[in-house]
Amino acid sequence: MSSEVRIQEIGGELKRTGSHSHIKGLGVINGKVEFVAGGFVGQVEAREACYYVVQLIKEGKFGGKGILLVGPPGTGKTALANAIARELGENTPFVQISAGEIYSLEVKKTEFLTRALRNAIGVRITEWRKVYEGKVKDLNFTFSKHPYNPYAQIPREATLVLQTRDEEKRLRVPREIAEQLLELGVENGDVIMIDEETGRVVPQGRGEEESYDVSVRRKIELPKGPVHKDKEITRFFTLHDLDVTQARQQGAISAMIFGFEAEQKEIPMEVRKAVDEFVNKLLKEDKAELVPGVLFIDEAHMLDIETWAFLNRAVEGELSPILILATNRGITKIRGTDIESPHGVPLDMLDRLIIVKTKPYTEREVMEIIKLRAKEDRISLNEGALKALTKIGAENSLRYALQLMAPALVRAKMMARKEITEEDVEYVSKLFVNVKDSVEYVKKYEEQFLK
Parse the chain into domains and list their residue ranges: 28-120+293-357, 126-236, 239-288, 363-440
User: Considering only 137-151, 250-264, 297-311, which range has the smallest mean pLDDT?
Assistant: 250-264
Amino acid letter at 230?
D
Topology of domain 363-440 in CATH is Helicase, Ruva Protein; domain 3 (1.10.8)
Position 261 pLDDT exceeds 60: no
Position 258 pLDDT exceeds 50: no
CATH 3.40.50.300 fits 28-120+293-357, yes or no: yes
Q: Is pLDDT larger for residue 212 or for residue 160?
A: 160
Phi, psi of 414, deg, nearest 5 = -65, -30
pLDDT for residue 217 = 60
Count Cβ atoms below 10 Å from residue 193 Cβ, excluding itself: 18
Position 10 pLDDT exceeds 50: no
3-state SS track over 374-386: HHHCCCEECHHHH
- How much is the average pLDDT of 261-288? 79
Position 30 pLDDT exceeds 50: yes
Alpha-carbon gap, residue 292 to 93, rounded angstroms? 7
- How much is the average pLDDT of 184-189? 85
pLDDT for residue 108 = 85
Strand partners, 134: 192
pTM of the model: 0.70
Buried b (16+ CB within 10 A) or exposed e, 372-402: ebbeeeebebeeebbebbbebbbebbbebbb
Alpha-carbon gap, residue 451 to 365, rounded angstroms? 41
Position 253 pLDDT exceeds 60: no
pLDDT for residue 92 = 84
Position 252 pLDDT exceeds 70: no
Confidence of residue 209 (pLDDT cuts 50, 70, 90): low
Position 22 pLDDT exceeds 80: no
Write out pLDDT tens, residues 35-72. 887 778 888 888 889 889 888 888 888 877 889 999 88
pLDDT for residue 227 = 87
Position 131 pLDDT exceeds 60: yes
Topology agreement, domain 126-236 and domain 363-440 = no
pLDDT for residue 250 = 66
Q: How far is CA 451 from each of CA 77, 310, 403, 447, 448, rounded to the nearest angstrom?
A: 35, 39, 30, 9, 9
Position 146 pLDDT exceeds 80: no
Confidence of residue 241 (pLDDT cuts 50, 70, 90): confident
Confidence of residue 18 (pLDDT cuts 50, 70, 90): low
Is the CB of residue 88 less than 8 Å from the CB of residue 58?
Answer: yes
Alpha-carbon gap, residue 90 to 102, rounded angstroms? 28
pLDDT for residue 326 = 92
Q: What percent of the chain has pLDDT over 90?
A: 4
Over the chain, what is the mean pLDDT?
A: 81
pLDDT for residue 264 = 55
- How much is the average pLDDT of 272-281? 87
Alpha-carbon gap, residue 112 to 96, rounded angstroms? 13
Long-range contacts of 386-391 (CB under 8 A, 24+ apart): 387/422, 388/422, 388/425, 388/426, 388/429, 389/425, 390/363, 390/366
Alpha-carbon gap, residue 66 to 355, rounded angstroms? 9
pLDDT for residue 148 = 74
Write out pLDDT tens, residues 338-373. 888 999 889 988 888 899 999 888 888 888 888 888
- How much is the average pLDDT of 198-209? 78
User: Considering only 258-262, 338-342, 375-379, which range has the smallest mean pLDDT?
Assistant: 258-262
- How much is the average pLDDT of 418-434? 87
pLDDT for residue 251 = 58
pLDDT for residue 218 = 67
CATH 2.40.50.360 fits 126-236, yes or no: yes
pLDDT for residue 325 = 92
